[in-house]
Structure 1
Amino acid sequence: MRVDIGNALDEVASPGVPRDALERLDERVADAHERIARGRADDEFGYAALNLPETADPDAVRAAVEPFDDVETVLTVGIGGSALGAATLSSALADADAPDAYYLDNVDPDHVRTLLDGLDLSRTVVDVVSRSGTTAETLANFLVVREAMAEEGVDWTERTLVTTGESGNLRDLAEKHDLPSVRVPEGVPGRFSVLSTVGLAPAALQGIDIDALLAGAAEAADGLSGSLFETPAYAYGATAYALDIRGAGVNAMMPYAEGLETFAEWFAQLWAESLGKDGLGQTPVRALGATDQHSQLQLYRAGPRDKLVTFVDVDDRPDVPIPETDLEGLDYLADTDLGELLDAEFRATEASLAESGRPSVRVELDALDAHSLGGLLYGMEAACVLAGELYEVETFTQPAVEWGKEAARDILRGERDRSEKATLRVE
Structure 2
Amino acid sequence: MHADIGNALDGALGLDRAALDDVDDRVASAHERVERGRADGAHGYAALNLPETCDPDPVERVAAGFDPESLFTVGIGGSALGAATITDALDSPVDAYYLDNVDPEWVSALCDRVDLSETVVNVVSRSGTTAETLSNFLVVREAMDDAGVDWTERTVVTTGAEGNLRSLADRHDLPALDVPDGVPGRFSALSPVGLFAAAVSGHDIEALLAGGAAEAEKLSGSLYDSPAYAYGATSYALAERGAAVDAMMPYAESLERFAEWFAQLWAESLGKDGRGQTPARALGATDQHSQLQLYRAGPADKLVTLVRPTERSDTPIPETDLEGLSYLGGSSLGELLDAEFRATEASLAAAGRENVRLEVDRVDERGLGELLYAMEAACVLYGELADVSTFTQPAVEWGKKAARGLLGGGEFAEADAVRDKRRLEID
TM (normalized to structure 2)? Answer: 0.98
Residue aligning to 1:256: 251
Residue number among 252, 266, 278 corresponding to 2:273 in the alignment: 278
1:76 aligns with 2:82: no
- SS in structure 2 at match of 1:25: helix
Shift of 1:419: 3.1
Residue aligning to 1:387: 382
Q: Which region of structure 1 is more displaced relative to structure 2, 411-420 or 117-126? A: 411-420
Residue aligning to 2:12: 14
Residue aligning to 1:41: 39
Aligned equivalents of 1:303, 1:319: Cα separation in 2? 34
1:292 aligns with 2:287: yes
Q: Within 5 Å, which residues of 2 pair with 1:25-424?
A: 25-69=23-67, 71-95=68-92, 98-413=93-408, 415=411, 416-417=415-416, 418-424=418-424
Shift of 1:332: 1.6
- Contact conserved, 1:79 with 1:106, CA < 8 A, in 2? yes
- Letter of the aligned partner of 1:234 in structure 2? Y
- SS in structure 2 at match of 1:316: coil
Identity %: 70
- Letter of the aligned partner of 1:348 in structure 2? A
TM (normalized to structure 1)? Answer: 0.98
- Letter of the aligned partner of 2:90 in structure 1? L
- Letter of the aligned partner of 1:423 in structure 2? R
- Contact conserved, 1:213 with 1:371, CA < 8 A, in 2? yes
- SS in structure 1 at match of 2:304: strand
Q: Which region of structure 1 is more displaced relative to structure 2, 26-35 or 325-334? A: 325-334
How well do the aligned residues superpose, as a CA RMSD in angstroms? 0.9
- Contact conserved, 1:321 with 1:336, CA < 8 A, in 2? yes
Q: Deviations along 1:309-349, whole A, 9 cap, x unmatched?
A: 00002110112001111111112212111000000011111
Shift of 1:258: 0.3
- Letter of the aligned partner of 2:60 in structure 1? R
Aligned equivalents of 1:328, 1:207: Cα separation in 2? 46
Unaligned 5+ residue runs, structure 2?
none
Aligned equivalents of 1:16, 1:53: Cα separation in 2? 37
Shift of 1:373: 0.9
Q: Deviations along 1:368-409, whole A, 9 cap, x unmatched?
A: 111111001000000000000011010000000001000101
Aligned equivalents of 1:121, 1:421: Cα separation in 2? 42
Aligned equivalents of 1:9, 1:66: Cα separation in 2? 49
Residue aligning to 2:4: 4
- Letter of the aligned partner of 2:49 in structure 1? N
Shift of 1:421: 2.7
Aligned equivalents of 1:226, 1:94: Cα separation in 2? 37
Q: How many residues align?
A: 422
Shift of 1:181: 1.1
- Letter of the aligned partner of 1:62 in structure 2? E
- Letter of the aligned partner of 1:425 in structure 2? E
- SS in structure 2 at match of 1:367: coil
Q: Deviations along 1:135-177, whole A, 9 cap, x unmatched?
A: 0000000000000000000000000000001000000000100
Shift of 1:17: 1.2
Unaligned 5+ residue runs, structure 1?
none
Q: Which region of structure 1 is more displaced relative to structure 2, 329-338 or 159-168? A: 329-338
- Letter of the aligned partner of 1:309 in structure 2? V
Shift of 1:64: 1.4
Aligned equivalents of 1:193, 1:425: Cα separation in 2? 43
Q: Which region of structure 1 is more displaced relative to structure 2, 384-393 or 315-324? A: 315-324
- Letter of the aligned partner of 2:344 in structure 1? T
Aligned equivalents of 2:382, 2:124: Cα separation in 1? 28
- SS in structure 2 at match of 1:331: coil
Shift of 1:425: 1.3
Q: Deviations along 1:37-74, whole A, 9 cap, x unmatched?
A: 000000000000000000111111011122213x1001
